[in-house]
């Protein structure tokens, strides 16, 4: 029983000035993101595609049925400031790459010997331009603000990345408010969740990509929904605001459409407590308004895709450009995900990519000996949480909302990746490919970071209570956070010493 488990867990002592402690943790989280963001060169993953999309939105992009090419201005910045260190090895016998191309007498003007490469970018199509638009709208506003402040060139690029530090510090703060709202008696979570999130090593949080903004929108929506579940008799504008927040969260990225899960759970919880006549009509009207406001912007975006792009999701042109095709049903049933080896690869790779990311360095993916800890630790702790979820008494609407929302979102996100992996023949695409036809990008579902943290840390609390009842569960939680921070920071050190980052430019190391 949950009540029995919690009464036997040792009480965690929190610093007396808890607000100052949490503010420090949030600032430290933002500072870590800022240091790593400006310490990494450009452009890993598909960051160049998202930067070009931001530039297009900032300069008045209008959608067309065909995928657009790169804008000449963004293509020039990409070619001038990109680093070869991600996907190439240094020349034999040389520990470093040649000096950056901006080390030339013409300053920010592209060297003549590289000008022809800009045309190669212009010939490519931007397959991300028709993705959900919220991130690009916000990024374009931040981009224009940076230009008004006088930033240009590489400083403008790093200005765009710096937004992630503000967003992530806000995310950690909102996450703390959420666990205080839903687990007011569980002081262990009040400390462990912010600490865990402050050091979470996902590299997608460092770059100009929509995934960096996904967690804060989901956390904000969960907090608003929790307050609505606690006090349903609120003014109509609060319900409308929650609906608008849900729409914005969903339109950050396709993985964020899972916010429908907590939205439905909250609506069910509110409408399920209509035993009292007082406020019955008010609650029902509010829930209907909330769901309507959430659905309208999403519906308008889907309709816009259907009219302008020819399909509801807007991804058909991307699939055609990349050579993806829907397989016959008989081939779908033979997908390797239904085999032991395929499923093992999927879950092992996804666990690593969800925790750390999928960035390459010197043409090699970042892997380490402790990667299996991410997989087995997640299985053990989340498994313990699921057992608790179904064995505990169904008391307390807030705790029930937080528990079921967290579990359903995390499980649903994994099922989502499996569902979009199975139907396609990926042709000659590099990722996913015919040889490994799986979407294993943890960044696609990184919006469920807060629900995952709750599952993981609640499960850890239960395991400690059962296996080591005299131990304060905060001790292993802090040990895990410290171990992850040290190990992942150590892996980042070679990247932070790159000659292509902002530190080198400021210190004068880039140009010798």
Residue-wise pLDDT tens digits, 193-211: 999 999 999 999 999 999 9
Cα–Cα distances in angstroms (integers) from residue 60 to residues 47, 77, 132, 141, 159, in the given order: 20, 19, 16, 12, 20
Q: List Cα–Cα distances, 255 to 30, 186, 341, 446, 512, in angstroms.
A: 24, 30, 25, 8, 44
Count of residues making up the chain: 512
- 222-241, pLDDT tens digit by residue? 999 999 999 888 899 999 99
* Cα separation, 352 vs 266, whole angstroms: 31
Q: Residue 371 burial (CB < 10 Å; 0-12/13-18/19+)?
A: middle
Give, in degrees to the nearest 5, the angle at Cα 208 between 85 and 449: 105
Q: Does 148 fall in a domain?
A: yes
Give the DSSP letter string of 353-387: HHHT---EETTEE---TTHHHHHHHHHHHHHHHHH
Residue 3 confidence class, pLDDT cut points 50, 70, 90: very low
Tell me, what's the pLDDT at 148? Answer: 96
Residue 118, CB-side half-sphere exposure with 13 Å CA sphere:
17
Share of the chain above pLDDT 70, in %: 88
CA–CA distances in Å: residue 200 to residues 273, 351, 356, 435? 37, 13, 8, 31
8 Å CB contact between 127 and 38: no
pLDDT beyond 70 at 97: no
Query: Would residue 459 count as lying in a domain?
Result: yes
Torsion of CA 421, 425, 431, 435, to 10 degrees: 100
Listed as own residue / partner, the contacts of 11-20 with beta carbons closer than 8 Å and 24 or more positions apart are 11/187, 12/187, 12/188, 12/190, 12/191, 12/472, 12/473, 12/474, 14/187, 14/190, 14/191, 18/190
| pLDDT tens sequence across 119-154 | 888 889 999 999 999 999 999 999 999 999 999 888
- Per-residue pLDDT of 444-477, as tens digits, reads 999 999 999 999 999 999 999 998 888 899 999 9
**pLDDT number for residue 509:** 58
Q: Is 45 exposed, middle or buried (0-12, 13-18, 19+ CB in 10 A)?
A: buried
CA proximity to 406, closest of 380, 379, 385, 376: 385
pLDDT, position 79? 85
Cα separation, 307 vs 295, in Å, equals 18
For residue 274, the model assigns a pLDDT of 54
* The pLDDT value given to residue 5: 41
Non-local (6+) Cβ contacts of 24 within 8 A are none
Q: Is 144 inside any structural domain?
A: yes
User: What is the C-alpha to C-alpha distance for residues 19 and 389, in angstroms, rounded to an integer?
Assistant: 30
Q: Is 10 exposed, middle or buried (0-12, 13-18, 19+ CB in 10 A)?
A: middle
pLDDT at 9 over 50: no
Query: Is pLDDT at 108 greater than 70 in this prediction?
Result: no
Sign of CA dihedral 24, 193, 244, 214: positive
The DSSP secondary-structure symbol of 66 reads S
- Res 415: pLDDT: 96
Could you read off the pLDDT of 265-323 as tens digits, one per residue? 999 988 876 555 455 777 889 999 999 999 999 999 999 999 999 899 889 999 999 99
- Whether the per-residue pLDDT at 179 is higher than 80: the answer is yes
Residue 53's domain spans which residues? 2-507
Has residue 512 been placed in a domain? Answer: no
Cis peptide, bond prior to residue 155, ω within 30 of zero = no
Residues contacting 230, CB < 8 A, separation 6+: 181, 397, 398
Task: Give the number of domains in the chain.
Answer: 1
Q: What is the tens place of the pLDDT at every residue in 427-436?
A: 889 899 999 9
What pLDDT shows up at residue 246?
A: 96
Asked whether the predicted pLDDT for residue 8 surpasses 60, the reply is: no
Say which residue, 259 or 64, is predicted with more confidence: 259
In a domain, 370, yes or no: yes
Which single residue is written with the structure tokens 């000008």? 115
pLDDT score for 354 = 96
Output the pTM of the full model: 0.91
Query: Does 6 reside within a domain?
Result: yes
- Please check whether residue 349 lies inside any domain of the structure: yes
Q: What is the mean pLDDT of residues 350-368?
A: 90
Report yes or no on 164 lying in a domain: yes
Collapsing DSSP to helix, strand or coil, 494 comes out as helix
Q: What is the mean pLDDT of the chain?
A: 87
Which residue from 471, 484, 446, 476 is spatially nearest to 460, judged by alpha carbons? 476
Helix or strand holding residue 21 (H, E): helix 18-39
């Amino acid at each position: 029983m949950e009540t029995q488990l919690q009464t036997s867990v040792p009480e965690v002592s929190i610093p007396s000035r808890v607000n100052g402690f949490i503010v420090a943790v949030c600032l430290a989280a933002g500072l870590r993101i800022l240091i790593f963001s400006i310490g990494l060169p450009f452009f890993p993953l598909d960051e160049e595609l998202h930067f070009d999309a931001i530039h297009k939105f900032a300069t008045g992009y209008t959608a067309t049925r065909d995928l657009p090419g790169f804008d000449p201005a963004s293509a020039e910045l990409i070619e001038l400031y990109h680093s070869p260190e991600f996907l190439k090895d240094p020349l034999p016998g040389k520990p470093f790459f040649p000096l950056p191309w901006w080390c030339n007498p013409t300053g920010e003007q592209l060297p003549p010997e590289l000008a022809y490469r800009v045309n190669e970018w212009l010939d490519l199509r931007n397959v991300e331009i028709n993705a959900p638009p919220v991130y690009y709208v916000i990024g374009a506003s931040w981009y224009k603000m940076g230009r008004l402040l006088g930033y240009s060139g590489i400083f403008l690029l790093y200005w765009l990345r710096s937004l992630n530090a503000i967003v992530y510090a806000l995310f950690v703060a909102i996450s703390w408010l959420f666990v205080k709202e839903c687990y007011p008696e569980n002081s262990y979570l009040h400390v462990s969740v912010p600490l865990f999130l402050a050091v979470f090593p996902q590299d997608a949080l460092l770059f100009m990509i929509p995934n960096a903004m996904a967690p804060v929108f989901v956390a904000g929506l969960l907090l608003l929904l929790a307050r609505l579940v606690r006090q349903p008799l609120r003014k109509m504008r609060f319900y409308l605001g929650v609906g608008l927040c849900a729409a914005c969260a969903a339109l950050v990225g396709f993985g964020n459409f899972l916010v429908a899960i907590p939205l439905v759970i909250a609506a069910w919880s509110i409408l399920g407590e209509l035993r009292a006549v007082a406020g019955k009509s008010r609650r029902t009207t509010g829930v209907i308004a909330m769901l309507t406001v959430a659905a309208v912007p999403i519906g308008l975006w889907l309709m816009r895709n259907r009219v302008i792009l020819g399909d509801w999701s807007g991804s058909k042109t991307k699939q055609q450009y990349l050579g993806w095709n829907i397989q016959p049903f008989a081939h779908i049933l033979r997908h390797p995900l239904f085999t032991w080896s395929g499923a093992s690869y999927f879950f092992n790779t996804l666990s690593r990519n969800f925790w750390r990311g999928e960035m390459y360095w010197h043409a090699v993916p970042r892997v380490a000996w402790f990667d299996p800890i991410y997989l087995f630790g997640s299985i053990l702790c989340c498994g313990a949480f699921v057992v608790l979820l179904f064995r505990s008494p169904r008391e307390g609407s807030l705790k029930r909302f937080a528990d079921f929302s967290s579990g359903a979102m995390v499980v649903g996100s994994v099922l989502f990746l499996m569902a979009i992996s199975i139907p396609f023949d990926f042709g000659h695409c590099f990722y996913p490919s015919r040889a490994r036809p799986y979407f294993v990008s943890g960044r696609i579902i990184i919006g469920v970071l807060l629900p995952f943290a709750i599952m993981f840390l609640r499960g850890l609390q239960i395991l400690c209570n059962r296996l080591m009842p005299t131990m304060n569960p905060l001790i292993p939680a802090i040990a895990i956070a410290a171990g992850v921070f040290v190990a992942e920071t150590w892996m980042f050190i070679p990247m932070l010493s790159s000659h292509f980052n902002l530190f080198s430019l400021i210190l004068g190391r880039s140009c010798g």
